[in-house]
Amino acid sequence: MSSWFNPYNTAGQRRIGVLKGKTILAVDDEPDVLETIVELLDMCRMETAGNFDKAQQLLRNRRYDMVILDIMGVKGFDLLDTAVEKDYPCVMLTAPALSPDYLLKAMQRGATSYLPKEDLANLDSLLKELFEILANGDSPWRHTMKRLEPLLDERFFSGWRDNYRVLWS
């Protein structure tokens, strides 16, 4: 784990400050993923949905500080449209859809950030950093791309960045 994305402070304690008491909706069709998210974000007020209909109902009728949406299985991009309409910051969570095309689609449709499921253990740190970035009026996508660049460079063809320059602008 890189020190740049370390969920613990120098004393080895979890950094939770800004997350304490935040209301967060997590949507995923995999119950074990939802359980993991709830455990990781135990300092937050959590709600979960395992399907599109329940998530859509919650998005329309409740207020959230952050929404975490799986892309596959629950029509995550359709839910993203609803969340953006309600002005909720959203992190797109995915395993198979980690690609520059999906990153671009998420950014263009208003997602705040993007997290591969293989990095789920770092969710609490990511959300803390995102809340701080948003509070300062900075770009969450610069943060996202800085975090994902090494993984994307490892997985995709050389020169992929040339085709996706907009992700850094």
Q: Among residues 44, 118, 45, 106, which one has the least CA distance to residue 81? A: 106
Give every CB contact of residue 36 below 8 A, 6+ residues apart in sequence: 120
pLDDT for position 167:
66
pLDDT for position 6:
41
pLDDT for position 63:
96
pLDDT for position 13:
43
pLDDT for position 139:
84
Q: How far is CA 153 from CA 25, 53, 149, 156, in A?
A: 31, 36, 6, 6
pLDDT for position 38:
97
Domain ranges of the chain: 16-168
- Answer for the pair 28, 55: CB distance below 8 angstroms, yes or no: no
Percent of the chain with pLDDT over 90: 56
Weakly modelled stretches of the chain, pLDDT under 50: 1-13
Q: What is the CATH number of domain 16-168?
A: 3.40.50.2300
The verdict on pTM exceeding 0.85 is no
Strand 45-49 with 66-70, pairing? unpaired
